Amino acid sequence: MTSYRVQQLLHEGKAKRVFATDRDDLVAVEFKDDATAFNAQKKAQLQGKGALNCRISALIFEYLSAAGVPTHYLGVDGTNWMLVRPVQIVPIEVVVRNVAAGSLCRQLPIAAGTALQPPLLDLYYKDDALGDPLLTEARLQRLALLSPQQLKALEQLAFQINDELRTLFERCRLQLVDFKVELGFTATGELVLADEISPDTCRLWDRGQSDPKGRILDKDRFRQDLGGVIEAYGEVLKRVQGQCPKPRVYG
Ligand code: TMP
Ligand code: ASP
């Protein structure tokens, strides 16, 4: 057990609040029940979502850490709190796509469900006011957010995370269609996985179901008004629980 005290709010996002603690090496993240989609044009409160995403993320971070993926994750405290290392978040939404879905099919003539081999990496500039625009290599260079070496490290880490997540989810009889991650730099300049990995940030299809709507076990249930959002997240939790180390407990 590591004791700490939660202090001031550092940042409030759509699904989480980030707090400083009385320890320099520890930041506390509270997972909220707020659900948003389409850049927060659609909003709801889904009771229990925060706790489910906190638990699912913790289990997945434990799994990825054990597989050698560097993360900001340290442990959990109670149902909705995660303890992490302080990081400087790179303002890039890193999306890896294994199967065509969502915005890719709206923006390009690629049929939904098309397998993408090799997987497609899409980088978006993280800025709600600008609607998280898709980045090009030239735009990335112009913004000078990362050195060429750091960009290479980001791409490698994204594909490593995809490989590990695909293996994990296949064991859970879930198809990893696509996902978004955020990465950050630690105080010593190490690039690590940060934020969360949950049904809010992944598209997951139940391998045991062929019905195109019935198989959806992620936030698309909320985006498309399919109902059963919390039940779907609960099913994901049940399945990952069997495949991941138990989360370390703080507090
Ligand atoms: P997209 O199809 O809308 O581009 O989404 C790709 C993946 O990224 C999908 O798994 C959902 C996730 N995602 C987020 O986690 N946050 C976001 O703000 C968006 C737009 C997508
Ligand atoms: N996370 C984004 C929002 O809250 C978009 C999405 O996930 O669809 O609006």
CATH number at residue 39: 3.30.200.20
Same domain, 119 and 177: yes
Using one digit for the tens of pLDDT, what is the confidence trace for 93-109?
Answer: 999 999 999 999 999 99
Same domain, 25 and 135: no
User: Does residue 126 lie in a domain region?
Assistant: yes
If pLDDT is split at 50, 70 and 90, which confidence band does 1 have? low
Which atom of ligand 2 has the smallest separation from the CA of 36? 4
Helix, strand, or coil here: 176? strand
Counting Cα atoms < 13 Å in the Cβ hemisphere of 8 gives 2
CATH of the domain at 119: 3.30.470.20
Same domain, 147 and 34: no
Using one digit for the tens of pLDDT, what is the confidence trace for 126-170?
Answer: 999 999 999 999 999 999 999 999 999 999 999 999 999 999 999
How far apart are the C-alpha atoms of 241 and 3, rounded to whole Å? 26
Same domain, 103 and 71: no
Mean pLDDT of the chain: 97
Which atom of ligand 1 has the smallest separation from the CA of 201? 15
Same domain, 63 and 116: no
Rounded to the nearest angstrom, the distance between the alpha carbon of 250 and the centre of ligand 1 is 30
Rounded to the nearest angstrom, the distance between the alpha carbon of 2 and the centre of ligand 2 is 34
Give 222-234 as a DSSP string.
HHTT-S-HHHHHH
Mutation test of ligand 1: which of 175, 176, 180 has the most ligand atoms closer than 8 Å to its C-beta? 180
> Any idea which ligand is nearest the CA of 39?
2
Q: Where are the alpha helices (DSSP H) in 108-147?
A: 137-143
- Please give the single-letter amino acid code of residue 102: G
Same domain, 80 and 101: no
Mean pLDDT computed over 163-178: 98
Same domain, 147 and 210: yes
Same domain, 173 and 186: yes
Domain's final residue, options 84, 101, 126: 84
> For ligand 1, is residue 70 a contact (CB within 6 Å)?
no
> For ligand 1, is residue 176 a contact (CB within 6 Å)?
no
pLDDT at 2: 78
User: Does residue 140 lie in a domain region?
Assistant: yes
Domain's final residue, options 51, 84, 117: 84
Mutation test of ligand 2: which of 31, 33, 38, 53 has the most ligand atoms closer than 8 Å to its C-beta? 38
Same domain, 51 and 172: no
Using one digit for the tens of pLDDT, what is the confidence trace for 47-97?
Answer: 999 999 999 999 999 999 999 999 999 999 999 999 999 999 999 999 999
> For ligand 1, is residue 95 a contact (CB within 6 Å)?
yes
Q: Count structural domains, the chain.
A: 2
Residue 214 has pLDDT above 70, yes or no: yes
How far apart are the C-alpha atoms of 183 and 90, rounded to whole Å? 6
Range of the domain at 150: 88-228
User: Does residue 118 lie in a domain region?
Assistant: yes
Domain's final residue, options 49, 66, 84: 84
